[in-house]
Structure 1
Amino acid sequence: MALPMWADDPGTETVKPREYRVWLTPTQAHPIDGVRYDQVPRYPLRREEPAALSADRWAWKIQRTPGVAGRRGGCVVHVWDCEEAPQEAEELDVLAALEVLRRPGAVACGECGADVALGPLA
């Protein structure tokens, strides 16, 4: 069942209609007199692919830096698609990335904007 709903659009500072789907049990749903239901799907809807582009994803990668002159090495936190981020590194969520930034010697990359995104949270 699709119901009209309203959603804020922060980009344009307006309110737009949005479709909202729910599944009902047979006891909750009953036909309305005078309405045709021959076009209503009777199968589960397929999950839609995420609408966000891959560039809109928020994931983080860690680059380990070697220690110099007997000092301990550190870490650099990168946005997942940063050119400096190691390709083979595991992608982390924001909480894991913030945990890494709390370690001594860890910094956020300034080239990919990780410092801007994570700086206020760290």
Structure 2
Amino acid sequence: MSSAGSPLPPIRVILPDDQEVRGRLHERRQWPRGGWMYRVGLPMWANDAQSEGVEPREYLVWLTPEQARPVDGVSYEDVPTHSLPREADQAPPADRWAWKVQRIPPRNGRPGQVVVHVWDCADAPAGDPEVDVHEALDVLRTVAGAVPCKECGAAVALGPLTGSDVPKDL
């Protein structure tokens, strides 16, 4: 039975010799190496040693999307589905609102510079801690000459929040 108490939905199973049989979908699970696997129950005959007879049993197996295919018109929304958990500090890029501060020391008579980058900018210092938007804005407002990076879009995102205009060449 599925989590809602309804019967497990049927699923088409493609065997190695291209025969097609029906099974029952128990769960869907995302795997760390990528992709989804489906736990499918296949009806089989099995010998029972105690009764010396043959009885029906369900054989459970994990299958790939190429091996387990949906049945047209069947709903799979009640099947337990397990995505990989997101690590607390590892949000997808679309959800991130983090910044890195690059401090470039003075060289060859040139003054030092402070640049605020989006966390994944190629020019952002690797290994340095990320800062939140409040800390990034604080750096831009209080450190003389600090600028948001134009390459990664920090200037577009942070410029309006600091009261400065977005540069025209972006």
- TM-score with structure 2 length normalisation? 0.39
Structure whose CA Rg is larger? 2
Deviations 1:14-38 (A, max 9, x none): xxxxxxxxxxxxxxxxxxxxxxxxx
- Alignment-derived partner of residue 61 in structure 1: 100
- Alignment counterpart, residue 151 of structure 2, candidates 84, 106, 111: 111
**What SS does structure 1 have at the residue aligned with 2:129?**
coil
Aligned-residue CA RMSD (Å): 2.1
Give the strand-richer structure, 1 or 2. Answer: 2
- Alignment counterpart, residue 120 of structure 1, candidates 160, 166, 169: 160
**What SS does structure 2 have at the residue aligned with 1:120?**
helix
Letter in 1 for 2:106: G
Letter in 1 for 2:160: P
* Identity in percent: 61
Give runs of ≥4 in structure 1 deviating > 4 Å: 68-72
Q: Which segment drifts farther, 60-69 or 103-112?
A: 60-69
**What SS does structure 2 have at the residue aligned with 1:67?**
coil
- Alignment-derived partner of residue 127 in structure 2: 88
Contact (CA 8 Å) 1:62, 1:85: kept in 2 or not?
yes
For residue 87 of structure 1, report the CA deviation from its aligned partner. Answer: 1.0
Contact (CA 8 Å) 1:73, 1:105: kept in 2 or not?
no
- Alignment-derived partner of residue 8 in structure 1: none
- Name structure 1 gaps, 5 residues minimum: 1-47
**What SS does structure 1 have at the residue aligned with 2:121?**
coil
Alpha-carbon distance between aligned partners in 2 of 1:60 and 1:77, rounded to the nearest angstrom: 7
- Name structure 2 gaps, 5 residues minimum: 1-84, 163-170
> Size of the alignment, in residue pairs?
74
Q: Please list, as runs of the form range in 1=range in 2, the aligned pairs for 1:26-105 lying within 5 A after superposition.
A: 49=86, 53-68=92-107, 70=109, 72-102=111-141, 103-105=143-145
For residue 89 of structure 1, report the CA deviation from its aligned partner. Answer: 1.1
Letter in 2 for 1:85: A
